[in-house]
Amino acid sequence: MRIVINGAGIAGPTLAWWLRRSGHEVLLVEHSREPRSGGYAIDFWGIGYRIAEKMGLLARIRELGYQVKEMRYVDRHGRTRGGFPIDAFGRMTGGRYIELRRADLAATIQGALDAGVDTLFGDSVAAIEDTGAGVHIGFDHAASREVDLVIGADGLHSRVRALAFGPEAEFEIPLDYHVAAFEIEGYRPHDDLIAVSHAVAGKQITKLSMPGDSTLFLFVFRDEYLSGNSPASAPQRKSALADAFADVGWECPEILAAMNDIDDIYFDRVSQIRMQRWAQGRTALLGDAAACVSLLAGEGTGLAMAEAYVLAGELHACGGDHRTAFARWQQRMLPFLRRKQVAAAKFASSFAPKSALGVTFRDHVSRLLRIPWIADLLVGRAVRDDIELPDYAFPPVSRT
Ligand SMILES: Cc1cc2nc3c(=O)[nH]c(=O)nc-3n(C[C@H](O)[C@H](O)[C@H](O)COP(=O)(O)OP(=O)(O)OC[C@H]3O[C@@H](n4cnc5c(N)ncnc54)[C@H](O)[C@@H]3O)c2cc1C
């Protein structure tokens, strides 16, 4: 089949890789002019880790990844108030747990694609006309074309979803937080591989010192601390963060000052996408576009990769009968994703507490995770993926 995938983040290239195993012709369309950098780190484990292993990507992922040693909660003077070592995650996943930049994971998957996948950067699917026998796709720039299927892997604010399923507001569940993230070179103090986090009511900032000289910052804050909509430009984003975090103490003044030297700032609402169906005719949605779990799940990339694997597998197993394949894929994956969404939404208030009392409570309770059996019990529950991934009879990988 000829298949267009809109979005070359995590889900899109993973799907392209697996579709090539069945010999489909794939066009990836990415609206950024080059692979997105998007300076935030991800935890990577579970079923995503298993898919990466099946794709032969683990060696590269381990090279790019790192093991964070500790989560440390500090007060406005930098005094430790809570926290725990991260080793339970390694223990409870049999060492199959790693952190890496989202952009590095995306580049690793893209780097594994063969010559049968074309990627069109700086463009987007702009029109979808399903004729029943095929789909007529219009682009912002490229000439339109006829294909067999179109897949929206274009993230939380999916354009394919808007074109084929309806406006975002129908499917978005806002979790009442905003998130911002960026990376700075040379920031001091640098606590190698320790995540240091400071929270006041409804606002949290976390600093992760990477091996080398780089530091990643993650801001999470309640919507009420943002006036207006999510800012679009870098100067507007900086000004929104400066306003929200001016009075927060700890290293905030230094971090906000250092932020002025960079332009690449991720900034968005923390939301989920919940849909009753992921496919309609010859169009389907994948990854965050279909079922964003949000950063609170700590697993969105892995889930996106698993959805992609199962979609390609069902298309293969159904001999290209997309209707049956879409139905079987959705039946297998949607209830599992919904359970992940529900669990993630419940976690919001412990991740970034709404009140000062909540912060104190969270900091105290976090110390229980220093006791190995308690950590293993809680982490073991959190990292469990209750789903069987089928083995599809894909032909062996052939490299050209
Ligand atoms: C701050 C933060 C922390 C996170 N932490 C974790 C974590 O610890 N572990 C984890 O596994 N997940 C984490 N996630 C979630 C994870 O990043 C996502 O779930 C995952 O990236 C989803 O993959 P995707 O391919 O569906 O979407 P994306 O990775 O968002 O990729 C979508 C792609 O589509 C492109 N695109 C968008 N619009 C268009 C368009 N109109 N036309 C063409 N292309 C378009 C985008 O440029 C992008 O390249 C985190 C997310 C955030 C925001």
Q: What is the mean pLDDT of residues 101-109?
A: 95
Reply yes or no on whether the pLDDT at 397 is more than 80.
no
Say how many Å lie between the CA of residue 75 and the centre of ligand 1: 31
Give the pLDDT band (50/70/90) at residue 235: very high
Spatial separation of the C-alpha atoms in residues 146 and 274, rounded to whole Å = 29
Reading the block at residue 53, the tokens are 């292993």
Give the pLDDT band (50/70/90) at residue 90: confident
Going by alpha carbons, the residue nearest to atom 19 of ligand 1 is: 300
Going by alpha carbons, the residue nearest to atom 20 of ligand 1 is: 301
DSSP secondary structure string for all residues of 100-169:
EEHHHHHHHHHHT--TTEEEEET--EEEEEE-SS-EEEEESSSPPEEESEEEE---TT-HHHHHHT--GG
- Which atom from ligand 1 is nearest to the alpha carbon of 218? 1
Say how many Å lie between the CA of residue 8 and the centre of ligand 1: 9
Reading the block at residue 169, the tokens are 């507001």
What is the torsional sign of CA 337, 341, 347, 348? positive
Give the pLDDT band (50/70/90) at residue 386: confident
Question: Which of 30, 161, 268, 309 best tests ligand 1's pocket when mutated (most atoms within 8 Å of CB)?
Answer: 30
Those residues whose C-beta lies under 8 Å from the C-beta of residue 282, and which sit 6 or more positions away, are 130, 134, 135, 148, 149, 150, 322
Say how many Å lie between the CA of residue 202 and the centre of ligand 1: 24
| Predicted pLDDT at 253 | 95
Going by alpha carbons, the residue nearest to atom 52 of ligand 1 is: 295
pTM over 0.85: yes
Spatial separation of the C-alpha atoms in residues 142 and 156, rounded to whole Å = 24
Across the beta sheet with 214-222, the strand order is 80-85, 70-74, 194-200, 203-209, 214-222, 172-185, 266-273
Spatial separation of the C-alpha atoms in residues 231 and 258, rounded to whole Å = 19
Going by alpha carbons, the residue nearest to atom 29 of ligand 1 is: 9
Q: What is the mean pLDDT of residues 14-29?
A: 96
- Which atom from ligand 1 is nearest to the alpha carbon of 302? 11
Say how many Å lie between the CA of residue 20 and the centre of ligand 1: 22
Provide the β-strand partners of residue 194. 70
DSSP secondary structure string for all residues of 43-95:
EEEHHHHHHHHHTT-HHHHHHH-B---EEEEE-TTS-EEEEEESHHHHHHTTT
> Across 97-101, 231-235, 323-327, which has the greatest mean pLDDT?
323-327
Question: Which of 288, 305, 311 best tests ligand 1's pocket when mutated (most atoms within 8 Å of CB)?
Answer: 288
Cα dist from 268 to 93, 183, 220, 307, whole Å: 30, 16, 10, 23
Q: What is the mean pLDDT of residues 249-268?
A: 94
Give the pLDDT band (50/70/90) at residue 399: low
Say how many Å lie between the CA of residue 77 and the centre of ligand 1: 34
pLDDT > 90: what percent of the chain?
Answer: 79
Under 8 Å between Cβ of 289 and 161 = yes
Under 8 Å between Cβ of 291 and 278 = yes
Going by alpha carbons, the residue nearest to atom 10 of ligand 1 is: 299
Going by alpha carbons, the residue nearest to atom 26 of ligand 1 is: 287
- Which atom from ligand 1 is nearest to the alpha carbon of 289? 26
Averaged pLDDT of the chain:
93
Say how many Å lie between the CA of residue 248 and the centre of ligand 1: 29
Which residue type does 102 have?
R
Under 8 Å between Cβ of 237 and 180 = yes
CA 67 centroid distance within chain:
18
Range of lowest pLDDT (4-8, 180-184, 268-272, 372-376): 372-376
Residue 250 falls in which region: left (phi positive, over 0), alpha (psi -120 to 50) or beta: left
Reply yes or no on whether the pLDDT at 398 is more than 70.
no
Say how many Å lie between the CA of residue 7 and the centre of ligand 1: 9
Spatial separation of the C-alpha atoms in residues 309 and 138, rounded to whole Å = 27
Reading the block at residue 197, the tokens are 């986090």
Give the pLDDT band (50/70/90) at residue 383: confident
Residue position matching structure tokens 């949290």: 204
Say how many Å lie between the CA of residue 9 and the centre of ligand 1: 6
Give the pLDDT band (50/70/90) at residue 228: confident
Spatial separation of the C-alpha atoms in residues 385 and 307, rounded to whole Å = 13
| Predicted pLDDT at 87 | 85
Give the pLDDT band (50/70/90) at residue 94: confident
Give the pLDDT band (50/70/90) at residue 201: very high
Going by alpha carbons, the residue nearest to atom 39 of ligand 1 is: 154
Say how many Å lie between the CA of residue 283 and the centre of ligand 1: 20
Say how many Å lie between the CA of residue 303 and the centre of ligand 1: 11
Going by alpha carbons, the residue nearest to atom 51 of ligand 1 is: 295
Reply yes or no on whether the pLDDT at 344 is more than 50.
yes
| Predicted pLDDT at 400 | 47
Reply yes or no on whether the pLDDT at 38 is more than 80.
no
Going by alpha carbons, the residue nearest to atom 50 of ligand 1 is: 295
- Which atom from ligand 1 is nearest to the alpha carbon of 35? 49
Q: Which residues line ligand 1 (CB under 6 A)?
A: 6-12, 29-32, 36, 40, 42-44, 102, 124, 153-155, 159, 179, 181, 218, 287-289, 295, 298-302, 304
Reply yes or no on whether the pLDDT at 117 is more than 60.
yes
